[in-house]
Structure 1
Amino acid sequence: MRFGVSYNTAYYGVDPDALVAFARHAEECGFESLYVPEHVVLHPGARAGRFELPPSLPYADPLDLLAFVAAATRRILLGTAVLLLPYHHPVVLAKRLATVDVLSKGRMRLLTVGLGALPGEADALGVDFRSRGRRADEAIDVLRLLWAGDEEGVSFDGEFFTLDRACSFPKPYRAATLPVHVGGSSAAAARRAGLRGDGYFPGGALTARERADQLELARSTAAGAGRDPDALEYTRWGSAQMTDEEIESMAAQGVTRIVVTAVSADPAERLAELSSFADRHLR
């Protein structure tokens, strides 16, 4: 089992010193990775499930934040949970991700993408909310094509994106491509993970049976597409207060990575939560 931590500026704030202290402490504790979320824009009345999102929540740009973290750390892997893929042009995104990966010496390896659940956010970015799934599928294909391309360039003719001998450099650090994990708690997300993902990271308030069914759907979809279902990583959310029994239960469900969330509003107490978790489970 691998363990990551999440840092959400919407709730922790955007104090750079607190962010660096959290990332360095997580690294010292032995956590594998640090994940950050994304909202590009909010609006009054925006809701995530049962919860209203105040429009003043300070969601920092995830890739800028991770580049900042990379400069202040040495080992911890960098992840998103989730980056809203339909709201990024894949040509620009391919270069940004590869740049962070190169500058961090190969640590931009836990990109998790999702579709977004706020129609107003899609409207503000000029994206058709109803077609964002197809747009995301195409974007994943374009990202991988650009990372794998050479000096001759790559071409693509899709519903949303068109390339003609496009060359994207720099390439990922010592790798032909970057992993792309798929987030989301729907059957469509599970199928997307099986068809195109290197991993599946479901969220949402699902029952144990629903989670098991979606993991099986991701794995069976991968097998049906000629991909190795056993190569599909399975990441889930957890808390800094998790017990050994809860971790063992997740492992029995096929989980390969747990991303831990600290709940305290106080920066020092958040670090103490990470230390306590590390003492119980990582050391």
Structure 2
Amino acid sequence: MRFAISYSTGSFGVDPDHLVAYARHAEACGFEGLYLPEHIVLYPGATLGAMPIPASLPLVDPLDALSFVAAATSRLLLGTGVLLLPYQHPVVLAKRLATIDVLSKGRMRLVTVGLGSLPGEAAAVGVDFASRGRRADEAIDVLRLLWSGGAEGVGFHGEFFDFDALCSFPQPLAPLPIHVGGSSRAAARRAGRRGDGFFPGGMLLPDERAAQLALARSEAVTAGRDPGALEYTRWGSITMSAERAEALAAEGVTRVVVSATADDPAEQHAQMSAFAGRLIR
């Protein structure tokens, strides 16, 4: 089982020195990768479930920030948790992700996409909230098509995206895995049909969590894909014990993502070091 760490400027602030120090210490501790979240815009009254989201939360663009992290690190894989795929045009996104992968020497490997849960955010970028699932499905197909196309170009004709003979170079150094995030059965089905991994949210009850993983694997079989190749990522606590890690591994978890909880940078580093001492080294 592998261990990665997340960083949210909404929690830790937009301080470039802090972000770089956090990423470098995570790399030194042996964490596999660093995840950043995304919200394109917020607005007064936005909520995540029953929890209000402050409209002034300073969430940076994850891909721009990961480029910054890549330049300051050498081994750390780069991840999104989650990238709001329906709100991105896949032709533009294919170029951005491939560029980061090439310039980071193949480290843009933990791309996790989701649908987004804020109707106002969808409206702000001109996307119909109700159709965002179908739009995301097409976007995944477009990304993979562009990354695999040759000099003769590739074409796509769908409900949302339509083009002929497009070429998108540079291409990633290797095919980019696309993991699917979300806490719904629709997300599990999407992961099985199209994803390289499934990264559900942290608030599910055990029975529903098990049912969603089983659904993702069964959908992979139906789609003619290998269910055993589907990675399974879960959120975890920075205070996680070795026993808890073993229990997650027994559930089929292949990666755990944690985050520091302290406000002080020195305490954050101490939390990372303690976690690595228990579970990584």
Q: TM-score range by the shorter chain?
A: over 0.9
SS at match of 2:236: strand
Aligned letter for 1:99? T
Whole-Å separation in 1 of the counterparts to 2:125 and 2:224: 35
SS at match of 2:232: strand
Aligned letter for 2:59? Y
Aligned letter for 2:33? S
Query: 1:237: which partner in 2?
Result: 235
Q: CA RMSD in A?
A: 0.6
Query: 2:120: which partner in 1?
Result: 120
Which of 254, 263, 266 is the aligned partner of 2:264?
A: 266
1:135/1:160 contact within 8 Å kept:
yes
Give the Å deviation of 1:145.
Answer: 0.2
Query: 1:214: which partner in 2?
Result: 212
Give the Å deviation of 1:51.
Answer: 1.1
TM-score (norm 2): 0.99
Query: 1:17: which partner in 2?
Result: 17
Give the Å deviation of 1:265.
Answer: 1.4
Whole-Å separation in 2 of the counterparts to 1:91 and 1:246: 41
SS at match of 1:81: strand
Aligned letter for 2:89? H
Q: Tell me if 1:51 matches 2:51.
A: yes
1:92-151 Cα distance to aligned partner (Å, 9 max, x none):
000000000000000001100000000000010100000000000000000000000011
Query: 2:140: which partner in 1?
Result: 140
Identity fraction in percent? 71
Give the Å deviation of 1:204.
Answer: 4.1
Aligned letter for 1:98? A
Query: 2:131: which partner in 1?
Result: 131
Aligned letter for 1:181? H
Whole-Å separation in 2 of the counterparts to 1:196 and 1:163: 21
2:202/2:234 contact within 8 Å kept:
no
Q: Tell me if 1:32 matches 2:32.
A: yes
Query: 1:87: which partner in 2?
Result: 87
1:205-264 Cα distance to aligned partner (Å, 9 max, x none):
111111000000000000111100000000000111001111111111100000011111
1:20-57 Cα distance to aligned partner (Å, 9 max, x none):
00000000000001000000000001001121100000
Which of 191, 200, 203 is the aligned partner of 2:201?
A: 203
Whole-Å separation in 2 of the counterparts to 1:237 and 1:206: 11
1:184/1:204 contact within 8 Å kept:
no
Query: 2:158: which partner in 1?
Result: 158
Whole-Å separation in 2 of the counterparts to 1:95 and 1:267: 34
Query: 1:187: which partner in 2?
Result: 185
Whole-Å separation in 2 of the counterparts to 1:268 and 1:63: 26
SS at match of 1:280: helix
After alignment, is 259-268 or 155-164 more displaced? 259-268
Q: Tell me if 1:107 matches 2:111.
A: no
1:123/1:129 contact within 8 Å kept:
yes
What is the count of residue pairs matched by the alignment? Answer: 281
SS at match of 2:163: strand
Give the Å deviation of 1:268.
Answer: 1.4
Give the Å deviation of 1:266.
Answer: 1.4
SS at match of 2:127: coil
Whole-Å separation in 2 of the counterparts to 1:117 and 1:128: 12
In structure 2, runs of 5+ residues without a counterpart are: none
Query: 1:171: which partner in 2?
Result: 171
Give the Å deviation of 1:170.
Answer: 0.5
In structure 1, runs of 5+ residues without a counterpart are: none
Whole-Å separation in 2 of the counterparts to 1:137 and 1:233: 19
* Runs of 4+ residues deviating >4 angstroms: none
Q: Tell me if 1:282 matches 2:269.
A: no
Whole-Å separation in 2 of the counterparts to 1:50 and 1:72: 37
Whole-Å separation in 1 of the counterparts to 2:93 and 2:151: 19
